[in-house]
Amino acid sequence: MAKNSDRPLKPATRLVVSGHDTTSYYGFVNPPVYHASTVLYPTAEDQVAHRARYQYGRRGTPTTEALEGALAAIEGPNCAAVCLVPSGLNAISTAILSVVSAGDHILVTDSIYRPTRVFCDGTLKRMGVETTYYDPLIGDGIAKLMKANTRAVFVEAPGSQSFEMQDIPAIAAVAHERKARVLMDNTWATPLYYQALDKGVDLSIQAGTKYIGGHSDIMFGTISANADAAPRLKETYHSLGLCAGPDDVFLALRGLRTMGVRLAQHHRNGLAVAQWLAARPEVARVMHPALESDPGYAIWKRDFTGASGLFSIALKPTSEQKVYAFMNALTLFGMGFSWGGFESLVILFDCSEYRTATRWAPGGPTLRFHIGLEDTGDLIADLERGFAAMAAA
Ligand SMILES: *Cc1c(COP(=O)(O)O)cnc(C)c1O
């Protein structure tokens, strides 16, 4: 990695220069994609002593090391380990497994990504670990829910679908006092807009499928740990036999190089469309923490340095038929799960089906938007077309 003795490099520069020694590989800018399992040892003595720079494909290649190095540089100085895994959900389950044992208890925000809940209520419960869901707005009130066997507090900000902000430093202070780890799903902001490991988070997770990949063509996940959490994370990761495929690792590294400029554009485009939607008569509320009117704005402003392109709206009460007419009239918004690619998306969702610690009552149908890299004038014209179709339905 490039060094600068005078001052630490800014994130934009680290995204470009980290994770690869450009004097290696004959000077080519990018590391090659190693498709690899077996590593050959030159002599019997070397084989018996496991004496080699690389041991085995699953244990790392120059391609995976390049990406780990680049991610570590972006996570900042508190990052002691990065693990690359096949999906964001796997990053979540592996991080949780690295901090719990049978008989333990964990606290998970009610605003968590839904498949995380499925993992906690299924596999984790079967392993003898109990989960309590808490109100995302709880702050240091989390102290009331801590038990003697609470090993971890899982946070996600903003919340999945509903975008509540959490006071993570306040929660982390309580958790650490009680010797519990703090895990965060940091997919929305990425380390570029939220330096989780500097704000009390021990294990920071990203669905690399989203903004790291950035092109809707890979499944990938990352777990970054501070020095306290790194040894158990690495042990769990290796013992589960995890590794990410070489082509996805390559595409993740390629995506990472442009993540800064893409995110800046998602931020601008997302805010422009959110502001426009907030002024529409059909819209009851926009859930976007970087809007001054949002209840999470003060925390976002204090802790985050940017916003991505994902937010939700609640429509005023209307019929299902009218919502479908709105969605079906859109030509620039695809209807699909996932997000973080270059394209705009919309989905209809309903958190009331599964929240348990809080009541989800937005008052009308709720839509989640991902605002891509298109021209915002075109996107707004498309949404106008949708609202016209809604009125006519
Ligand atoms: C998509 C997503 C995940 C899961 O990522 P996959 O790669 O799809 O498994 C986890 N957390 C959040 C917030 C997500 O949006």
pTM score, two decimals? 0.97
- Is position 3 annotated as part of the catalytic site? no
- For residue range 39-78, what is the model confidence (pLDDT) as tens digits? 999 999 999 999 999 999 999 999 999 999 999 999 999 9
Domain ranges across the chain: 11-257, 260-392
Does residue 3 register a pLDDT over 80?
no
114 part of the active site: no
Q: Do the domains at 11-257 and 260-392 have one common CATH topology?
A: no
CATH of 11-257, one of 1.10.10.1150, 3.40.640.10, 3.30.2020.30, 3.40.190.10: 3.40.640.10
Q: Is CATH 3.90.1150.10 the right assignment for the domain spanning 260-392? A: yes
Residue 89 near ligand 1, beta carbon < 6 Å: yes
In this prediction, residues 371-381 reach a mean pLDDT of 98
Alpha carbon nearest to ligand 1 atom 8, residue: 88
What is the 3-state secondary structure of 215-256? CCCCCCEEEEECCCCHHHHHHHHHHCCCCCCHHHHHHHHHHH
The alpha carbon of 188 and the centre of ligand 1 are apart by a number of angstroms equal to 9
pLDDT at site 23: 83
Point out the catalytic residue in the list 113, 133, 134, 194: 113
Give the number of the atom of ligand 1 that is nearest the alpha carbon of residue 208: 7
Residues in the chain, how many? 393
Contact present, 111 and 144 (Cβ < 8 Å): no
**What strands lie across the sheet with 366-370, from one edge to the other?**
283-287, 310-315, 366-370, 345-349
Q: Which pLDDT does position 195 carry in this prediction?
A: 97
Is residue 5 very low, low, confident or very high in pLDDT (cuts 50, 70, 90)? low
Q: In the predicted model, is pLDDT for residue 350 greater than 50? A: yes
Q: For residue range 90-111, what is the model confidence (pLDDT) as tens digits?
A: 999 999 999 999 999 999 999 9
Instruction: Check whether 4 has a pLDDT greater than 60.
Output: no
Active site residue 185: yes
Local structure of 314: helix, strand or coil: strand
Question: What spacing in Å lies between the alpha carbon of 266 and ligand 1's midpoint?
Answer: 18
pLDDT digits (tens, 9 = 90+) for 119-143: 999 999 999 999 999 999 999 999 9
- Is the distance from the beta carbon of residue 187 to the nearest atom of ligand 1 less than 6 Å? yes
Average pLDDT, the chain: 96
> Residue 24's pLDDT band (boundaries 50, 70, 90)?
confident
Tell me how far apart the alpha carbons of residues 368 and 374 are, in angstroms, rounded to a whole number: 17
Q: What is the pLDDT of residues 242-269, one digit of tens each?
A: 999 999 999 999 999 999 999 999 999 9
Q: Nearest to residue 366, comparing CAs of 312, 309, 289? A: 312
